[in-house]
């Protein structure tokens, strides 16, 4: 019987669960997220894990939109889910009976993108997830980098464009802050670009969409761009240029082999990547990034749940003194 690992991706609207065994992932099972209270969500997770685990389950990985103290599995704070100051790893491990590892969801997605067909193919990778907000993850030397205690890769809060005015010095400001990547290059930012373009160009795809439905969103931008709508293509170019400055920061800091763009907005594909790539290389220190590939995530919306399962396998291999590749592929001869 080969080892099985369970991955869970918790989002603001849905929870996905998939299993990793013998180098293959199962199709994710999806349910709606229980948002009524912290206790209700923990109970939902525990119940789903109890129903999913089997005799061959060795570990479970959970990705959440949270700041996490990985060593203890404590949730410090979250966005879009009601979890805060909670020892989630301890609670679920005791309830389910196998080790549970808790990680930031974007970091899980980064780990998934570092693997291809069950093998680590990119040991140096930076991930940007462009959805409602902006998240990120760093794989360095084949492992997730978390910083001293928590989820280090909060790339959405990098400041990419900000002018200070009188009175700004020392002033407190809520997150996401003005000039941050999340404020300027997220799905919400694309919504705002779409609304302005619809007003400015009422005969465009965006203008007609708002006239028909009373609202226009980033989804309309991508659909319009695919149909060749000039206003929609302009919105994606603006968003791509902003994202490119964030990518330049990543290349200047890490000089990675790959920069990967995921999240819902990534379905724009090359219409987003091309302006992002152009802006990135205009802001990279000369000589850096010469071996860096900028691409769309290969796993799409499954990256988070697949990465959570890989996290479980990686931590199991470390805890048992085994080999990660053996744990992922199911080849027990490679395990110590």
The confidence band for 291, taking pLDDT boundaries of 50, 70 and 90, is: very high
Query: In the beta sheet, which residues pair with residue 24?
Result: 21
Q: Kindly report the pTM of this predicted structure.
A: 0.85
Average pLDDT over residues 12-35: 94
Helix (H, G, I), strand (E, B) or coil at 143: strand
Check whether domain 125-165+174-296 has CATH 3.30.565.10, yes or no: no
**pLDDT of the residue at 166:** 57
Contact 25, 304 (CB under 8 A): no
What whole-number distance in Å separates Cα of residue 89 and Cα of residue 306? Answer: 19
**pLDDT of the residue at 334:** 40
- Identify the residue with better confidence: 170 or 254: 254
Percent of the chain with pLDDT over 90: 74
Contact 298, 116 (CB under 8 A): yes
Helix (H, G, I), strand (E, B) or coil at 302: helix
How far is CA 301 from each of CA 9, 141, 211, 279, 304, rounded to the nearest angstrom?
10, 25, 30, 26, 7
Contact 118, 236 (CB under 8 A): no
- pLDDT of residue 46 exceeding 90: yes
Looking at the chain, which residues constitute the CATH 3.30.420.40 domain(s)?
4-119+300-334, 125-165+174-296
Residue 225 has a CB neighbour count (10 Å cut-off) of 22
What whole-number distance in Å separates Cα of residue 161 and Cα of residue 248? Answer: 13
- pLDDT of residue 32 exceeding 90: yes
Task: Please state whether beta strands 119-120 and 57-64 pair in parallel, antiparallel, or not at all (unpaired).
Answer: unpaired
- pLDDT of residue 332 exceeding 60: no
- pLDDT of residue 336 exceeding 90: no
Averaged pLDDT score across all residues of the chain: 90
- pLDDT of residue 335 exceeding 50: no
What whole-number distance in Å separates Cα of residue 145 and Cα of residue 164? Answer: 32
Residue 128: closest CA among 240, 218, 12, 221: 240
pLDDT tens for 158-199 read 888 876 555 556 666 666 677 899 999 999 999 999 999 999
- pLDDT of residue 151 exceeding 70: no
Average pLDDT over residues 19-37: 94
Average pLDDT over residues 253-259: 96
What whole-number distance in Å separates Cα of residue 157 and Cα of residue 67? Answer: 13
Average pLDDT over residues 296-324: 89
Q: Give, for 131, the enclosing helix (H) or strand (E).
A: none
pLDDT tens for 64-84 read 989 899 889 999 999 889 999
Instruction: For domain 4-119+300-334, give the fold.
Output: Nucleotidyltransferase; domain 5 (3.30.420)
Q: DSSP secondary structure string, 49-109?
A: HHHH--TTEEEEEEEESEEEETTTTEEEEESSS---SB-HHHHHHHHHSS-EEEEEHHHHH
């Amino acid at each position: 019987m080969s080892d099985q690992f369970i991955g869970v991706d918790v989002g603001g609207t849905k929870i996905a669960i998939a299993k990793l065994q013998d180098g293959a992932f199962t199709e994710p099972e999806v349910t709606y997220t229980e948002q009524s209270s912290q206790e209700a969500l923990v109970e939902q997770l525990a119940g789903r894990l109890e129903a999913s685990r089997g005799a061959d389950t060795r570990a479970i990985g959970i990705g959440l939109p949270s700041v996490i103290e990985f060593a203890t599995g404590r949730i410090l704070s979250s966005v879009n889910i009601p979890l805060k100051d909670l020892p989630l790893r301890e609670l679920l491990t005791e309830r389910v009976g196998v080790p549970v590892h808790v990680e930031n969801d974007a970091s899980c997605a980064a780990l998934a993108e570092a693997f291809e067909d069950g093998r680590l193919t990119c040991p140096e990778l930076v991930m940007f997830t462009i959805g409602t907000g902006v998240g990120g993850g760093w794989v360095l030397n084949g492992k997730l980098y978390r910083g001293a205690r928590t989820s280090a890769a909060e790339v959405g809060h990098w400041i990419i464009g900000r002018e200070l005015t009188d009175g700004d010095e020392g002033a407190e400001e809520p997150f996401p802050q003005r000039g941050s990547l999340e404020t300027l290059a997220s799905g919400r930012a694309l919504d705002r670009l779409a609304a302005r373009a619809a007003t400015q160009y009422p005969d465009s795809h965006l203008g007609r969409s708002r006239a028909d439905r009373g609202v226009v969103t980033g989804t309309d931008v991508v659909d319009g761009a695919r149909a060749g709508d000039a206003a929609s293509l302009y919105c994606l170019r603006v968003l791509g240029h902003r994202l490119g400055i964030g990518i330049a920061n990543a290349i200047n800091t890490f000089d990675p082999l790959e920069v990967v763009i995921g999240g819902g907005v990534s379905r724009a594909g090359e219409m987003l990547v091309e302006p992002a790539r152009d802006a990135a290389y205009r802001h990279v220190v000369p000589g850096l990034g010469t071996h860096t590939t900028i691409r769309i995530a290969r796993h799409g919306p499954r990256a988070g749940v697949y990465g959570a399962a890989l996290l479980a396998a990686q931590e199991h291999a470390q805890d048992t003194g085994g080999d990660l590749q053996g744990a992922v592929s199911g080849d027990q001869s490679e395990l110590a």
